[in-house]
Amino acid sequence: MESPFSLKDKLILVTGASSGIGRHIAIVLSKAGAKLVITGRDNARLEETFSQLNGAEHEKITCDLTSAQDRDILISQLSKLNGVVHTAGVLEIKPVKFIDEDDLQNINSVNYSAPVLLSQALLENKLLLPKSSIVFITSIAANIGAVGFGIYSGSKGALTSFARVLALETAPQKIRVNCIAPGMVKTPMFDITTDSLSEEALSENEKLYPLGFVTPSDVANGVLFLLADASEKVTGITLTIDGGLSIS
């Protein structure tokens, strides 16, 4: 009997797969038997991810999901999907009094508008099979205030709210929609947020995480669960993976 955690023969689209969490998620899903379509804006880095995937029959499509033209090209090349993982995201730390309109547009276009519009296109073109699963990578920043994270937190909060509505609208087709909200994850984005901290300050920050900082593997394993048949009755939730930060 096939394990309920297996992704064998499932076709999964992973956005933002050229680096960080997205890359690690793609690699883990390929090891679980999934056939992947990976996307990212940087072709060289996307190729690096592609070379690390387990198995065959994977595809890579270089595209910028903030571009309507690129989204259309991606949609035109996709077969019917069993799952989608939206991992593409950007971070800029800036106190509210220094925010300008360009900052807001740059963050929201990647973190919110792109996954929303891609989801719309997938539904309109009937590319999501019944019983498929959509996973959005959000952040605990959507619920926990942190100085300088105003735009980022807002974009992730909006995406979380959107996912709940999408879960209701797709439930008649048995399509599941969930979010994963990681805490601090050790990726290049982690370096951006901590490069101004001393080793002592970073050590103090880590103490806020009873189980330690989150790793890309922690997030990838959560994604695996939400894509697999093991979670067939789970929809509209946010799975928090934060090493205990939110309860400390």
Nearest residue to 117 via CA among 64, 158, 71: 71
Q: Are 65 and 71 in contact (CB under 8 A)?
A: yes
Give me the phi and psi of 70, to 5 degrees please. -65, -40
The SS3 assignment for 88 reads: coil
Q: What one-character-per-residue DSSP string does 166-225 give?
A: HHHHHGGGT-EEEEEEE-SBSSHHHHHHHTTS-HHHHHHHHTT-TT-SB-HHHHHHHHHH
Q: How far is CA 149 from CA 32, 102, 183, 187, in A?
A: 34, 16, 13, 17
CB atoms within 10 A of CB 4: 11
Partners of residue 84 on adjacent β-strands = 13, 134
**Signed CA dihedral, 186, 192, 193, 195: sign only:** positive
| Residues marked as catalytic | 152
